[in-house]
Amino acid sequence: MLSDDAPVIEWVNHASFVFEYGDVRLICDPWLHGTAFNRGWRLLSESAFRPEDFSGLTHVWFSHQHPDHFSPRDVKLIPPAIRARLDVLYQATLDKKVIRFCQGLHFAGCSEMPDRVWQQLAPGLLAMCGKWDDRDSWIAFKTPHATFLNMNDCMIETPRQARGIAKTVGPVDVLFTQYSYASWAGNDGDTEAHRAHAQKKLTEMRLQVETFNPKIVVPFASYIYFSHEENFYNNAQMNRVGDVARFIVNGLGRTAVVLYPGQRWRFGDPHDWKPAAERYGRDFDAILERGPLDRSPTVPFERVARAALEYVTRVKMRNPVIGFVPGLRTSVDVTDWDCAVELSMSGMRRIPRSAPVDLRCGSDSLFFALKMPWGANALSNNGRFGVPRNGDRQRFFRFFRAGDLNDHGYALDHRWAARQIAKRLAQRAATLAHRQARASVTSSSSDL
């Protein structure tokens, strides 16, 4: 048991919690209600936190612009008088979309946090935000009592990646990390692929725990379910938080903290994870019994074709070298049409349904991928698609790569082309050197 001034965590939902220390009450990634990723996800449990509850906060921090972390709908629901007293913190980005959005809503302050630099939020409280993979970011809080590390969606897959963060942050006492998959994990019926994805999250958790060496692990950023009739099957093999908590305790030898929306926990206080885990389990069972809530109407061919032409025009204007990128085409079996289509830098055309295709999805998903700057990224996360035998999921999403880069402030221009050429030349030089070295060894062996 620590003193009453120890940091407090108030659970909001999914990847969101309030970090309370001294006069600071900072909320991370508030997503409170509704769907995300084009009606692909819903929250596993109902939020207790309401828009008016922002009145008791001092700061809002967003990790990245995915709608389950930065929910424009929920941000707009914060009453204007409360927004005028709140400070927004965000990573420094090229596109500035999140910061400008919040500035337009007249928050008290909108600041970009310097990358991997401790800054003081209040006496005794330091915060550090670290950029990750040009999209995501993590945040650490350091107090005299403990250091808390919120990894949200940062994908740590190698010891080297984890060691880099550990060296920057220093000793970690409390780790917040994902506990289950939250994107496409395989076709309907491919149970083994789904189980492998679920196991991969536990392997990543083990890597983080072994590197950061926290005393306490908080499983989070997975309190969602796949809510659409096209992706509902993905729920069957998701990790349950109760099983994960047992893995943390018995498999990793750490203390597990599981909190249900509205619960509070003070660092140093004893905690029993079982009641919250059981509530989440009952909520999940009820969802599986009820079935999917979301469906989508058919979008007419002509409307999708116009969106494809608009997408191609937009991409060509913003990416001067796009015409020099080979193989930018893909094909899709549109499940609610009587045909498949091919997408290229000329637009969209019909092809026979019997033709080989890369992806299978509904017209609503294809339309969303073409219409919205983040549409293909949303489709990748919501898993509302399938991959036919001999299909190529990567080729489909590669077609949308330029639009995705543009959405984050980048472009396929002469600088990008120069980097690609330099990368190819370096790869060829390395291959040539390797061949020459092998030839030299072979020659030396024959001389013997």
Compare 416 and 115 and report the one with higher pLDDT: 115
**Residue ranges of domains in the chain:** 8-290, 301-407, 414-443
Whether the pLDDT of residue 448 is over 70: the answer is no
pLDDT at 428: 79
List strand residue ranges (DSSP E) for 290-365, in order.
Answer: 329-334, 340-344, 347-351, 359-361
Residue range 301-407 in CATH 3.40.190.10? no
Whether the pLDDT of residue 1 is over 50: the answer is no
**What mean pLDDT comes out for the span 333-337?**
97
pLDDT at 331: 98
Whether the pLDDT of residue 325 is over 90: the answer is no
Residue 440 pLDDT level (bands cut at 50, 70, 90):
low
Whether the pLDDT of residue 271 is over 90: the answer is yes
Cα dist from 240 to 195, 359, 442, whole Å? 12, 29, 55
Tallying the residues shown for the chain, one arrives at 448
pLDDT at 295: 97
d(CA 201, CA 261): 23
In the chain, the percentage of residues whose pLDDT exceeds 70 is: 94
| Cβ atoms < 10 Å from Cβ of 420 | 14
pLDDT per residue over 137-153, tens digit each? 999 999 999 999 999 99
Whether the pLDDT of residue 215 is over 90: the answer is yes
Residue 354 pLDDT level (bands cut at 50, 70, 90):
very high
pLDDT per residue over 294-310, tens digit each? 999 999 999 999 999 99
Residue range 8-290 in CATH 3.60.15.10? yes
Return the DSSP state at 50.
Answer: -
d(CA 122, CA 128): 13
pLDDT at 420: 61
Question: 322, exposed or middle or buried, with CB in 10 Å at 0-12, 13-18, 19+?
Answer: middle
pLDDT per residue over 379-426, tens digit each? 999 999 999 999 999 999 999 999 998 988 888 776 766 666 776 777
One-letter amino acid at 297 equals P
3-state secondary structure of 225: strand
Which DSSP string do the residues of 373-408 spell out, in sequence order? Answer: TTHHHHHHHH---B--TT--HHHHHHHTHHHHHHHT
